[in-house]
Each structure stands twice: as C-alpha cells, then as structure tokens.
Amino acid sequence: MPKFAANLSFMFTELDFLDRFGAARAAGFDAVEFLFPYAYEAEAIAEQLARHELRLVLHNLPPGDWAAGDRGIATDPLRVGEFQDSVGLALDYATTLGVRQLHCLAGVNANGARDTYLDNLRFAASQLARHGMTLLIEPINIFDMPGYFLSGSDQAADIIVDAGMDNLRLQFDMYHVQRMEGELAAAITRHLPLIAHMQLADVPGRHEPGSGSIDYRRLFALIDALGYTGWIGCEYHPLHDTLAGLAWRTALQA
C-alpha cells in the first residue's frame, strides 16, 4: 500500500499549526509535510516531530514575498542573490528538522527565464547534495496559479534532464497534473524514474480522494505495481471535517 503523509498546511487547519502534529499522529499518520516552516522556530517544530514520533518528508524553499504574490523566485534573473540566500535558510531548517527533500517553487514573475531557473536549480541541488538531500520541482496548474512557470510534467522532466543534477527530482502532484493534462496513469508510468515524491487531491475542488472524478483506487494499485516506495502527501482541502474525510483511506483500500 502507498505511504501517506498529512500536509499540515491543508489538514487540521482548525488547530494552531504546532497543534496539528499531534492531530496527525492521532489520525494514524506516521509522516507529515507542510509548505513553509519559516514563521516558527525550527526547534519548536522539531520538538513536535519528536514528541509525536513523526517523520517530516517535505517542505518548500522560501517562496519570496507570498503576500505580495510571489510563488517562488527561481526563474527571476533579478533575484538570484535572494534565491541563493533562501537556499541557505531552507537548509538551516532542514538540518534541524531532519527532512531529506525540499521543493523549489519556480515562480510566476513576468521576468521568468529558463536559463536562470536551470542555474538556480543547479546551485540549490549542489548545496543540498552536501547534506545528502534531494531537490524537487513540481508542475502546478495555471488555473489555481495563473502564470506559473512550470506547469507540465513533460516540461519538468526536460528541466531535470537539462539541469543534469543527480539529486534533482520530480514532485508529482496528481491534482495539478490531472487539471493540466489528464491521463494520470500514463504520466505516472512515463515519469516514474524521475519521481521522488507524490501528492494527491481530487478534481474538481481539491478535496479528498473519492470526492471527485479521479479513480484513486486504480491509481494506488498502479503506483504499487510500478514499485514506487516514496511518500504521497495529502495536499487537499478537506470537504468538511478533516477526520471524517479520512474515511477514504479505508474506502479505497489504502
């Protein structure tokens, strides 16, 4: 069966962030992920992970100024220094939290440049490699995030190949790929050698599996058959109550 990690930026949001770790453990999760840790002291998050015997499997590099509309700065040639500083901050947190994978948001800026993106990915991957960590990139659909630079799974695969870094891999979010491309089973099969992390949500609505049109029972069986051993992050907005919505794990034989 696939291994599922609770995304604490989406689940148990009725609780304060540091209280969500205990809720995830009580709900039966062995691992968690979240978008950004930077509003909290790394030691406070590490204490929650240790107390509840949870593994942190993923968080993002700093995105720039999220409130101002930044969704990553890795493609912006005017902010290379800022990007490099952000990698250092992410590594400070990652080493304290024991996470082995960091996701790099590409950005939605009008100055987006592929060559800058490749250079920044090479820089970040080389810094993470010193700590035995993997850098991830994720295609994100342009309906939820208009203008996002990286929106297709084949585009992401080409970037990974062109960057030429052994520790640069694909974060495959089934919700985003379904919205942009469909044919999830074919895309997973095609890109499996590059995939180091997966995420899920149903379409439409970005709610829990079983709430929409994606055949997750079939996909979970395929993922197992293909031999994927990584985590699948539950990055969805619960339709109602988080705990009630987790019935999909039993209903879909997950």
Structural domains of the chain in order of their starting residue, each with its CATH number: 3-251 (3.20.20.150)
Does residue 36 have a pLDDT over 70?
yes
211 burial type by CB count under 10 A (0-12 exposed, 13-18 middle, 19+ buried): buried
Q: How confident is the model at residue 9 (pLDDT cuts 50, 70, 90)?
A: very high
Percent of the chain with pLDDT over 70: 99
d(CA 54, CA 44): 14
Q: What is the DSSP letter of 10?
A: T
pTM of the model: 0.96
pLDDT at 252: 87
138 is catalytic: yes
- The arithmetic mean of pLDDT across residues 181-185, rounded, is 95
String of DSSP letters for 137-154: E----TTTSTT-S---HH
| Plot region of 158 (φ>0 → left; ψ -120 to 50 → alpha; else → beta) | alpha
pLDDT at 109: 77
d(CA 6, CA 32): 5
- The residue annotated as part of the active site, out of 41, 138, 181, 183, is 138
- The arithmetic mean of pLDDT across residues 14-41, rounded, is 98
- The residue annotated as part of the active site, out of 14, 41, 53, 235, is 235
Does residue 241 have a pLDDT over 70?
yes
Does residue 100 have a pLDDT over 90?
yes
Q: How confident is the model at residue 30 (pLDDT cuts 50, 70, 90)?
A: very high
Does residue 254 have a pLDDT over 70?
no
